[in-house]
Structure 1
Amino acid sequence: MDGSRAGQSEFIMGGSSDGQQGMSAKNFGVHTLNRLMESDQKCRVTAQKNRPDVSVLALGLDLNTLDLRLTGMDPLYPQLGTVWAKTPPDVNRINNDVYTPACYDIRPPHDLYKHVHRLEEPSLFYAFYGMPGDEMQLAAAGELYRRGWRYHMDSMVWFLPDGAQPPMVHERYQQGKFHYWDKAKWCRGVRDSMTLISDQLEGEPELPDFMKRAA
């Protein structure tokens, strides 16, 4: 085996002369990239199996595996979701491996924030924790605040003063019995005695005008 072929096999198999897996200096650079691109199909398959991160950069992806419409003359970039897209991708067109009945193919209703006052606590917390950056997260935060919950910014946990045993409110802190929402168990928890620093509690969320009008 000549030196070029040996270097190619070493790169593809992930071996190295210094004993570190795939970290030989000769595995990097234009010469190794050129050898990999000119290698036969068997070597390419081996590379994709052993070093998928490197082979994708060197060989790219087969467009036939990306579910693109390749038969026409239209440009392909509108079919690809990127950070430069002018409009967000249509979630109803995203393909996945989960089969759902055709009758489930519906669009979500608009203006869900108008109905947050009807939601129970688990649904409100789902909207807050499960929809980051969405208007429903902000609407849920506003509704939780209206119901007496306060968001602790450091621990990222919602607390509610106990109604039967209201905590003692001082200038800089509150001390007493609090309920909290347990994200791990997805239910309420209770702490009989704890202290919350007032500066660590978020104030009332600032809702946009269209949410205020819907309230």
Structure 2
Amino acid sequence: MLGLLDIFKSPNADILVKGNDLKFLGFDFNSEEKFYSTFGSPFSNSPMINAKTNFKLPECYNVQQKPYSALSKITRFSEEILFYMFYNMPQTYFQEAAAQELFNRKWRYHKKYSLWFSKEPGNEVVLKGDGYEKGVYIIYDPISLKQVKTECTLYYALLEDRSNSVIYNPYAMSKLS
């Protein structure tokens, strides 16, 4: 920095400054009119093209949708997207909607382990008792983002019951408590 200071103190410091003085480009700085809306470039003698009058935006870009209308199509979402919504959007309507859709697809949420369980298709329950069942289940692992098959015992009291669950209004978008 000290070396640059010596250069700027020299009488030839003006050779370091590159550019043009805007007064020599023909601008009237005393005018009230804004020149930036028509100024194209210091290298052009013609004004800038007005994109609003010369170009039209295709109508397909002007689609007006209601907020959160994508959630009306939640039944078409893949399970990976539903799991993403559930684990990455906590305490929102999106998490609630994803949980309800997973429940509709026969997934059950384990309250103690915070994991989703589903019965392995084609496998019957090995042992069924009062308040529990043992069998082969698919567990969604949110760490590895994979569905893992395992044999375990599920206690009904530890599974969330969403059969009487209320779906919240998507337009309220307040945090769930």
Mapped to 1, the partners of 2:124 and 2:87 lie a distance apart of 27
Select the structure with the greater relative contact order (CA < 8 A; seq sep ≥ 6). 2
Shift in CA distance, 207/115, structure 1 to aligned 2, threshold 3 Å:
farther
Mapped to 1, the partners of 2:167 and 2:144 lie a distance apart of 32
Structure-2 residue corresponding to 1:185:
144
The equivalent position to 2:88 in structure 1, one of 118, 130, 140, is 130
Structure 2: unaligned runs, 5 residues or longer: 1-64, 171-177
Mapped to 2, the partners of 1:181 and 1:175 lie a distance apart of 18
Structure 2 counterpart SS, 1:145: helix
Structure 2 counterpart SS, 1:142: helix
Structure 1: unaligned runs, 5 residues or longer: 1-106
Structure 2 counterpart SS, 1:117: helix
Q: How does 1:1-215 map to 2 (within 5 A)?
A: 109-167=67-125, 168-191=127-150, 193-204=151-162, 206-208=165-167, 210=169
Greater helix percent: which structure?
Answer: 1
Is the 1:142–1:207 Cα contact (8 Å) retained in structure 2? no
Q: Which amino acid aligns with 1:196?
A: L
CA RMSD of aligned residues (A): 2.2
TM-score (norm 1): 0.45
Mapped to 1, the partners of 2:168 and 2:114 lie a distance apart of 26
Structure 2 counterpart SS, 1:155: coil
Structure 1 counterpart SS, 2:139: strand
Mapped to 2, the partners of 1:147 and 1:119 lie a distance apart of 11
CA shift for structure 1 position 133: 1.0
Instruction: State the percentage of identical aligned residues.
Output: 29
Q: Which amino acid aligns with 1:154?
A: K
Shift in CA distance, 169/148, structure 1 to aligned 2, threshold 3 Å:
farther
CA shift for structure 1 position 108: 9.9
TM-score (norm 2): 0.54
Is the 2:93–2:168 Cα contact (8 Å) retained in structure 1? no
Mapped to 2, the partners of 1:108 and 1:187 lie a distance apart of 33
